[in-house]
Amino acid sequence: MGFLVRYSNVLALVLLLVAASLLSPYFLSSRNILNVLRGATMIGLVSIGMTFVILNRGIDLSAGSIVGLSAALMAAFAPYGVGVAALVGVAAGVAVGVANGLLITRLRLQPFIATLSTMIFVRGLVYIYTEGSNIIVRDASAAFSYLGSGFLGPVPFPVVLFAIVWLIAALTLRYTVFGRTIYAVGANEEAARLSGIAVERNKVQVYTVSGLLAGLAGVVLASRLTVGEPNAGTLYELDAIAATLIGGTTFDGGVGGVGGTVLGVLILAFLSNVLNLLNVSPYSQMLLKGVIIVLAVVMSEWRKRR
């Protein structure tokens, strides 16, 4: 029983893949699998950043709005070259992340309130900047499109990028002082402070990472669609929170990791894919996603008790 609880996410993903392959003859096609993985990249990047935040006993509701802002800036600055456009998009995400951290540490706002405020503010900023219209990248260069639509051998480049980010994040959390500090602050903030850890600085750094990865997700999204949509990234933060919780990281802080989050991202991505292949109503899919989140939290509680 302990084995089943400990590796429940892996077993759930395997069972999902087996069931999906039996329910739809199109599911296991290489084209479908690669499309699912590429489509999951943006949520995956946001989810890794969200994992850092939740491990630190926080939350980032502004992540989806950051994706929209970054995508709009990526499209708007496309004429100046893909390097400049990507840098501006990511820098915007970093700036919002730093602002979130300062609101929480300097103004002593609760993470929910601080990031809810920036979520609304940044989305409003996107609407003002775009005037509510799409920013279309005309005559997009091959380099611009490559970030979101290119291939590295047989593998979509966004998938390779996500794998690299995941590896860096996993190594950071496991082997660096910054990573260990994230766990320490999330587990017991007061004990961490008494141990000499710069808690406020660590929180700012965590939200900066979340903003950076959300900004990167916006860059990839704009590259893939060759358009900056003012509504881009809407509800991404909720999907990222869901993937993080399914992966075993809980709001208690200090427990979890990006490995489980990747499994959570894949479970949600493949589940949505097979339900779409079966023509299941998107409203029913929302209900099912809610049930899965509840089950994931229950399983996490069982893991802690064991």
CATH number at residue 220: 1.10.3470
Q: Mapping DSSP to helix (H, G, I), strand (E, B) and coil, where does residue 135 land?
A: strand
Question: Above 70 in pLDDT, residue 185?
Answer: yes
The structure tokens 């990031």 sit at 115
Question: Above 70 in pLDDT, residue 99?
Answer: yes
pLDDT of residue 45: 98
Token digits of residue 128: 């003002």
Instruction: Look at residue 217 and tell me if it is in a domain.
Output: yes
Q: Which residues pair with 135 in a beta bridge?
A: 228
Mean pLDDT of the chain: 93
Question: Above 70 in pLDDT, residue 90?
Answer: yes
Q: How confident is the model at residue 292 (pLDDT cuts 50, 70, 90)?
A: confident
Over range 16-41, report the average pLDDT. Answer: 93
| Least confident segment among 90-94, 180-184, 286-290 | 286-290
Instruction: Look at residue 23 and tell me if it is in a domain.
Output: no
pLDDT of residue 96: 98
Instruction: Look at residue 285 and tell me if it is in a domain.
Output: yes
d(CA 189, CA 96): 23
pLDDT of residue 304: 61
Instruction: Look at residue 306 and tell me if it is in a domain.
Output: no
Instruction: Look at residue 251 and tell me if it is in a domain.
Output: yes
Instruction: Look at residue 10 and tell me if it is in a domain.
Output: no
How crowded is the C-beta side of 181, counted as CA atoms within 13 Å? Answer: 17
Domain extent at residue 231 = 30-301
Over range 239-263, report the average pLDDT. Answer: 92
Q: How confident is the model at residue 139 (pLDDT cuts 50, 70, 90)?
A: confident
pLDDT of residue 290: 83
Q: How confident is the model at residue 43 (pLDDT cuts 50, 70, 90)?
A: very high
Over range 85-104, report the average pLDDT. Answer: 98
Instruction: Look at residue 21 and tell me if it is in a domain.
Output: no
pLDDT of residue 118: 98
Total number of domains constituting the chain: 1
Sign of CA dihedral 88, 93, 98, 99: positive
Question: Above 70 in pLDDT, residue 158?
Answer: yes
Q: Which residues pair with 156 in a beta bridge?
A: 151
pLDDT of residue 303: 64
d(CA 20, CA 125): 41
pLDDT of residue 63: 98
Look up residue 29 and give its DSSP letter.
Answer: S
pLDDT of residue 190: 95
pLDDT of residue 61: 97
d(CA 253, CA 191): 14
pTM over the 0.75 mark: yes
Q: How confident is the model at residue 27 (pLDDT cuts 50, 70, 90)?
A: very high
Question: Above 70 in pLDDT, residue 270?
Answer: yes
Instruction: Look at residue 19 and tell me if it is in a domain.
Output: no
